């Protein structure tokens, strides 16, 4: 007897079409970087068909010989950083292209396993996929998870005509919110919540899967995070490596999923909501309770400080059972948040006092001169302050009030668009290069948080949209912090920017 690599049911003989699932090995799509069906890992797991691929890994159906059950195995395989040809001499081992890539890959792999170990502690949470094992092999790492026999929420919505009732949507997300709150209490974010990553099993369970983008938070507020996102489900802080991410980041994504379930529409992309929010509030849709509409709309607030602070608050707002308070973070984290809020209040007071003083000075100048104005004007930045500073990892972002300040955003756009990149030709500005790279005239936009001003350029290349994202520091320097192409995040965004330089004919002076 043999087993089918498509479902691992027993088959009377090797080869041919599986009578249970219809899988036939001779028709399987082989790719040279995908492990071949029949490959064994750890002398225990037999690899079957590929279930899916993402930015951080490849997921396979597998058979656990020891437990005699199907499992899902996710292989750490960050696209663009590693490569592999399973038919070559190196076989199943992954390869990195350069020393820097190897360093980044190794650090990411260690984090991948460390965070899998945390997830393994929560095997009894009803709304989270169970991690059964994790190990190293083939110069990479693997996570073994329970196999959920069912369909994704995305597929379920398709079967239901694109949307479901308000009551069903809120009920489906209840175990996910409750379980993820416990994960948050252990300082782990998911960061990739969407209908693709929520599974509905045949026995009625709802589980959040794919923690490949998960990251620790709260221990090091200044650490940068890899840009990982799905447009429509990601808040604006995920568009920057230095965006301050926390429980409120997953809150946004959860609320975006509920919004999608009820309306059939994906929320408007966060960056496009900053200057003019065109996203239709859930409260305005028919057959949506005021309670649910208000809770979801708050969770979808563009500015993080306007959202529910954590999933405990969201749970309370949606279900109102009193359990929300039990889902909140432990007292140490709450105290830390309160301390941060206290600092913000002080900064606001300082900012208000500064504005009052500047107003007084401006009005005094107005009384002394006929040409003085009450409103502030954007002044030109000295040419020697226009340097990009894109290699300055120790630069400190400017601290601004938590409300939107259009002048500051405009100033940031001015600094970047008219700026010169360190180490490159000073004959052209950043705007010149991006305008030349884009097939159609692009557009500069920006937003401001309590930590920094972020501006980005949106253009079009070969029929695909692209964005380059820059962070502006208080000393009028800036740094490239991310890029998107065709609606997908480009993790190696520096290489993408080099395309711009090459196409413009500029060579690095470095």
Does residue 10 lie within any of the structural domains? no
Q: Look at residue 3 in the predicted model and tell me its pLDDT.
A: 92
Does residue 7 lie within any of the structural domains? no
Considering its fold, how many domains does the chain have in total?
4
321 shares its domain with 393: no
- The H or E element that residue 364 is part of is helix 331-368
292 shares its domain with 342: no
Tokens, residue 252: 């946004």
Tokens, residue 84: 């592999």
Q: Could you tell me the end-to-end alpha-carbon distance of the chain, in angstroms, rounded to an integer?
A: 62
308 shares its domain with 388: no
Angle, alpha carbons 120-124-125 (nearest 5°)? 95
Under DSSP, the state recorded for 197 is G
Residue 418: name the closest of 437, 398, 432, 438 by CA. 432
289 shares its domain with 371: no
Q: Are 389 and 398 in contact (CB under 8 A)?
A: no
Burial call 312-343: b when 16+ CB within 10 Å, e when fewer: bbbbbbbbeeeebeebbbeeebeeebeeeeee
Quote the CA–CA distance of 450 and 401 in Å, as a whole number. 5
Q: Are 473 and 412 in contact (CB under 8 A)?
A: no
Does residue 498 lie within any of the structural domains? yes
Does residue 450 lie within any of the structural domains? yes
Q: Are 395 and 473 in contact (CB under 8 A)?
A: yes
Does residue 96 lie within any of the structural domains? yes
228 shares its domain with 113: no
Under DSSP, the state recorded for 347 is H
Does residue 435 lie within any of the structural domains? yes
Q: Look at residue 450 in the predicted model and tell me its pLDDT.
A: 58
243 shares its domain with 282: yes
CATH number at residue 302: 1.10.510.10
Q: Which of 113, 146, 179 is the C-terminal boundary of a domain?
A: 146
10-11 and 40-41 strand pairing: unpaired
For 405, residues 6+ apart whose C-beta sits below 8 A from its C-beta are 448
- The H or E element that residue 202 is part of is none
Q: Domain limits at 449?
A: 383-504
Quote the CA–CA distance of 76 and 91 in Å, as a whole number. 16
178 shares its domain with 233: yes
**pTM of the predicted structure, to 2 decimals:** 0.62
Tokens, residue 230: 């799905």
186 shares its domain with 214: yes
Question: Would you call 375 exposed, middle or buried from its count of C-beta atoms within 10 A (0-12, 13-18, 19+)?
Answer: exposed
Does residue 17 lie within any of the structural domains? no
Q: How many CA atoms lie within 13 A of 50 on its CB side?
A: 15
Q: Look at residue 405 in the predicted model and tell me its pLDDT.
A: 56
- The H or E element that residue 168 is part of is helix 166-184
76 shares its domain with 108: yes
Alpha helices (H) along 66-165:
99-120, 153-159
315 shares its domain with 262: yes
Quote the CA–CA distance of 239 and 228 in Å, as a whole number. 8
User: What is the residue-wise DSSP string for 258-319?
Assistant: HHHHHHSSPPPPGGGGSSS--PPPGGGSTT--HHHHHHHHHHT-SSGGGS-SSHHHHHHHHH
Does residue 510 lie within any of the structural domains? no
294 shares its domain with 182: yes
Q: Which of 312, 329, 346 is the C-terminal boundary of a domain?
A: 329
Residue 104: name the closest of 415, 410, 494, 443 by CA. 494
pLDDT under 50: residue ranges of the chain: 214, 216-227, 329-346, 349-350, 352-404, 509-510
Q: Which of 120, 146, 172 is the C-terminal boundary of a domain?
A: 146
- The H or E element that residue 22 is part of is none
Q: Look at residue 125 in the predicted model and tell me its pLDDT.
A: 85
Q: How many CB atoms lie within 10 A of CB 174?
A: 17
pLDDT tens for each residue of 430-473: 999 999 999 998 999 887 765 678 888 989 998 888 889 888 88
Q: Are 53 and 35 in contact (CB under 8 A)?
A: no
Quote the CA–CA distance of 96 and 105 in Å, as a whole number. 8
Residue 439: name the closest of 507, 496, 500, 483 by CA. 500
Quote the CA–CA distance of 477 and 412 in Å, as a whole number. 9
Tokens, residue 69: 């059950």
Under DSSP, the state recorded for 375 is S
User: What is the residue-wise DSSP string for 209-241?
Assistant: ---TT-EE-SS-TT--------TTTS-GGGGST
341 shares its domain with 388: no
Under DSSP, the state recorded for 7 is T
Residue where the block lists tokens 């991006």: 434
């Amino acid at each position: 007897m043999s087993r089918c690599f498509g479902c691992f049911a027993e088959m009377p003989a090797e080869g041919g079409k599986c009578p249970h699932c219809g899988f036939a090995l001779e028709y399987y799509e082989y790719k040279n970087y995908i492990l071949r069906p029949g490959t064994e890992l750890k002398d225990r797991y037999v690899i079957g068909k590929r279930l899916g691929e993402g930015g951080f890994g490849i997921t396979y159906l597998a058979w656990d010989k020891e437990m005699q059950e199907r499992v899902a195995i996710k292989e750490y395989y960050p696209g663009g950083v590693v490569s592999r040809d399973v038919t070559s001499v190196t076989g199943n081992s992954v390869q990195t292209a350069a020393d820097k890539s190897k360093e980044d890959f190794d650090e990411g792999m260690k984090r991948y396993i460390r965070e899998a170990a945390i997830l393994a502690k929560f095997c009894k949470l009803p709304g989270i996929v169970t991690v059964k094992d994790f190990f190293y092999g083939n110069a990479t790492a693997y996570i073994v998870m329970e196999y959920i026999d069912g369909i994704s929420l995305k597929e379920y919505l398709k079967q239901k005509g694109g949307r479901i009732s308000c009551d069903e949507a809120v009920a489906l997300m209840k175990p996910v919110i409750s379980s993820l709150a416990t994960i948050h209490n252990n300082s782990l974010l998911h960061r990739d919540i969407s209908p693709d990553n929520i599974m509905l099993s045949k026995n009625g369970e709802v589980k959040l899967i794919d923690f490949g983008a998960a990251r620790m938070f709260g221990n090091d507020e200044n650490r940068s995070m890899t840009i990982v996102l799905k447009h429509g489900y990601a808040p604006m802080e995920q568009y920057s490596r230095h965006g301050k991410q926390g429980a409120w980041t997953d809150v946004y994504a959860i609320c975006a999923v509920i919004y999608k379930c009820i309306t059939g529409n994906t929320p408007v992309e966060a960056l496009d909501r900053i200057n003019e929010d065109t996203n239709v509030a859930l409260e305005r849709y028919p057959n949506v309770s005021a309670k649910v509409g208000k809770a979801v709309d708050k969770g979808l607030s563009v500015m993080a400080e306007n959202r529910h602070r954590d999933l405990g608050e969201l749970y309370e707002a949606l279900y109102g059972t009193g359990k929300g308070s039990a889902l909140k973070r432990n007292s140490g984290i709450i105290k830390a948040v309160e301390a941060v809020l206290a600092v913000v209040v002080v900064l606001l007071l300082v900012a208000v006092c500064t504005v009052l003083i500047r107003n007084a000075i401006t009005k005094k100048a107005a009384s002394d001169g006929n040409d003085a104005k009450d409103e502030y004007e954007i002044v030109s930045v000295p040419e020697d302050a226009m340097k990009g500073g894109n290699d300055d990892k120790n630069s400190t972002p400017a601290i601004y009030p938590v409300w939107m300040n259009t002048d500051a955003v405009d100033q940031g756009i001015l600094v970047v668009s008219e700026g010169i990149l360190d180490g490159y030709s000073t004959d052209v500005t950043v705007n010149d290069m991006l305008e030349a790279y884009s097939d159609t005239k692009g557009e500069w936009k920006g937003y401001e948080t309590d930590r920094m001003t972020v501006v980005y350029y949106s253009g079009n290349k070969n029929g695909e949209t692209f964005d380059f994202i820059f962070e502006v520091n208080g000393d009028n320097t800036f740094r490239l912090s991310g890029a998107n192409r065709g609606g997908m995040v480009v993790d190696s965004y520096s290489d993408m920017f080099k395309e711009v330089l090459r196409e413009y004919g500029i060579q690095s002076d470095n």
